[in-house]
Every structure is written in structure tokens, then in C-alpha cells.
């Protein structure tokens, strides 16, 4: 871990600023494969493990959706939540989220929303602060950060959240319920990040492999809710990573809610001249 963190600081500031997004919130709280597979088991029948391993393919079939994200962290006896909302194109693996950080524990500082663009192998952030001009973007290579951007950006990339289920090792069908007005089937299980990385898409493989090495454990418990077409409507992962400053484990629960499938999505990545090339201040 120490060597990996040192390597991050030698990048063009990007990984440092990305890692700071979650790290500064924790410190504040603490006081410091192809889409042709058949859909199986969406009504509880069949093999839950096989069903969940193909859930990402069902999103590719759906094309696009809107998304809401929530990331809860327990640090220093305090629980904080980062929320996001936006859209995602599963075929192009492009998304846009507006991420809202919580106020400081004393309630004195209100953070500006951060705009995040999600792309294959990269995360772009605007309004990040840390000395970056307001009109500039910060680019981070997701394979260079120890969690593969499952946690760092304050929101889990919706397609990465789905591809993590390709590593499902055990799963059980819990029963039928409702999510945001849709009838869904609830499954509970455990995924392995290393297994997910092997079966992920080309663009997601390196990021998930980085997470498998960087998290405190590669085993990720989850709850997921699928609709009648096998599409993920809601997925909640529970991660554990080591806070680099305090060397203590931080528990993170990441929830992704998907809805309004087929919604128009227009994500344009920043031009090279709009990307900040200077050194990022460490917060």
C-alpha cells in the first residue's frame, strides 16, 4: 500500500486529488462479456450466481438510464454521506454525475457540487478545489488508484458496480419487493473483486484488479434488486479500505439506484486544453 500511494503522488496530481475526495471527508468526520446470455432467475428460479454474473449485460441491452448514488462512510465514530445524481450510457460506458459532499461536522462549510464525468479507464472532475481553477477539469486514470474508483470519487461508477457482480461467488434469492415503484427480486451475496476483474469488460478489468489489491479484502458483500428484465434497479455494496493517513479500516456502503431506462444521455469529455496540467494541492 505504501508504495502504491507513493506512486499516486508522482502522477500529474490527478490521483492525489481524487484520493483526497474521500480521504478529506473521512478525516473531517474523524476530526482530521457479451450481452447474449439468457436471463435466468429474475423471478427467483434458476441459479442466482449465474443470474447476477450476467446483470451487467442486461444494462448494456437497456442502453442508458438515470442514476442516483449514495456513499456512506463510518469514520471516527461519525457517519457521513456523499450523494450523486446523473445519467449513464452502458454501451459507451460514459456517465455524468453531480456529486454533493456533506457539510463539515461543525456545519460551517458548504462544499460546491462536484461534476464528475465517468469514462472507460478515467474519471474527470470539475469544481474539485485543491487549487484547481474553476474552469478546469482534473483527469484521473482509475487503474492507478487503489480502489479502482469504486470509492475514491465519492460515487461508484454504475457500470463498475454492475461488473463487480461478475465476481459473484455465493448468492441467495431473498424474495420479491419494490424499489422506486418497480417490482423487483432481491438477491444477497458476496462477490470477489479478483474474479470480477477477470470476467470484466476490457475497460473495467484494470480498475477492478486495482481494487482487488487495494481494498482491505477482495470479498464484497452486496444486496441487489433486479426487475423482470434482469436489469439492476438497486445495488448496495459494502467495502472496506485502509485510511492511508490513520492506517485504520474505513467501512463504506455504496448504493446505486438505476431508473428511467432509455433516457437520453449526452456526455462529452473535456478537450485537452480544458484539463488541468499543474500540481494539485494536497488537502
Residue 73 scores a pLDDT above 70? yes
CA distance 199 to 218: 15
* Percentage of the chain lying above the pLDDT 90 cut: 58
Does this model's pTM top 0.95? My answer is no
pLDDT class for 214, splitting at 50, 70, 90?
A: confident
For 235, the grid coordinates are 445495488
Predicted confidence (pLDDT) at residue 64 exceeds the cutoff of 90: yes
Lowest mean pLDDT among 42-51, 180-189, 209-218: 42-51
Q: Is the Cβ–Cβ distance between 220 and 188 less than 8 Å?
A: no
Q: Is pLDDT above 60 for 25?
A: no
Work out the mean pLDDT of the chain and round it to a whole number: 82
The mean per-residue pLDDT over the stretch 151-179 comes to 95
Domains in the chain: boundaries: 2-32+36-262
pLDDT number for residue 9: 36
Tell me whether strands 94-100 and 78-89 are parallel, antiparallel or unpaired: antiparallel
Question: Is a pLDDT exceeding 90 seen at residue 190?
Answer: yes
245/62: higher pLDDT = 62
Lowest mean pLDDT among 51-60, 73-82, 136-145, 233-242: 73-82
Distance between CA atoms of 242 and 250, rounded to whole angstroms?
A: 6
SS3 of 105, please?
coil
pLDDT band at 3 (very low <50, low <70, confident <90, very high): very low
pLDDT at 105 over 60: no
Indicate whether 196 pLDDT > 80: yes
Pairwise CA distance, residues 75 & 127, whole Å: 24
pLDDT of the residue at 2: 41
Q: Are strands 78-89 and 182-192 parallel, antiparallel or unpaired?
A: unpaired
For residue 46, the model assigns a pLDDT of: 72
Provide φ and ψ at 251, rounded to 5°: -90, 130
Compute the distance between CA of residue 149 and CA of residue 141 in angstroms, rounded to an integer. 9
More confident of the two residues 44 and 267: 267
Q: 126-135, 153-162, 273-282 — which is least confidently predicted?
A: 273-282
Q: Does domain 2-32+36-262 have CATH number 2.50.20.20?
A: yes
Instruction: Convert the pLDDT of each residue in 28-43 to its tens digit.
Output: 544 444 443 434 444 5
**Which comes out higher in pLDDT, residue 20 or 10?**
20
pLDDT grade for 216, boundaries at 50, 70 and 90: confident
Amino acid at each position: 500500500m505504501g508504495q502504491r500511494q507513493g506512486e499516486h503522488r508522482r502522477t500529474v496530481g490527478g490521483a492525489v486529488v481524487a484520493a483526497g475526495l474521500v480521504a478529506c471527508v473521512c478525516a473531517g468526520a474523524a476530526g482530521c462479456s457479451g450481452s447474449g446470455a439468457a436471463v435466468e432467475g429474475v423471478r427467483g428460479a434458476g441459479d442466482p450466481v449465474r443470474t447476477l454474473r450476467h446483470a451487467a449485460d442486461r444494462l448494456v441491452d437497456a442502453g442508458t438510464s438515470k442514476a442516483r448514488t449514495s456513499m456512506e462512510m463510518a469514520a471516527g465514530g461519525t457517519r457521513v454521506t456523499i450523494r450523486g445524481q446523473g445519467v449513464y450510457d452502458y454501451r459507451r460506458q460514459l456517465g455524468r454525475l453531480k456529486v454533493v459532499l456533506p457539510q463539515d461536522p461543525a456545519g460551517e462549510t458548504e462544499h460546491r457540487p462536484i461534476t464528475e464525468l465517468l469514462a472507460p479507464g478515467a474519471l474527470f472532475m470539475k469544481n474539485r478545489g485543491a487549487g484547481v481553477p474553476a474552469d478546469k477539469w482534473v483527469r484521473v486514470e482509475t487503474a492507478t488508484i487503489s480502489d479502482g474508483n469504486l470509492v475514491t470519487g465519492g460515487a461508484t461508477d454504475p457500470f463498475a458496480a454492475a461488473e463487480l457482480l461478475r465476481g459473484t461467488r455465493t448468492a441467495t434469492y431473498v424474495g420479491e419487493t419494490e424499489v422506486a415503484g418497480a417490482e423487483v427480486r432481491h438477491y444477497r451475496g458476496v462477490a470477489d473483486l479478483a474474479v470480477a476483474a477477470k470476467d470484466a469488460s476490457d475497460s473495467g478489468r484494470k480498475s477492478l484488479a486495482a481494487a482487488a489489491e487495494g481494498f482491505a479484502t477482495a470479498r464484497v458483500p452486496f444486496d441487489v434488486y433486479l426487475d423482470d428484465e434482469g436489469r439492476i434497479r438497486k445495488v448496495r455494496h459494502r467495502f472496506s479500505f485502509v485510511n492511508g493517513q490513520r492506517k485504520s479500516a474505513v467501512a463504506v456502503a455504496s448504493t446505486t439506484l438505476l431508473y428511467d431506462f432509455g433516457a437520453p444521455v449526452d456526455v462529452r469529455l473535456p478537450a485537452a486544453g480544458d484539463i488541468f496540467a499543474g500540481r494539485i494541492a494536497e488537502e
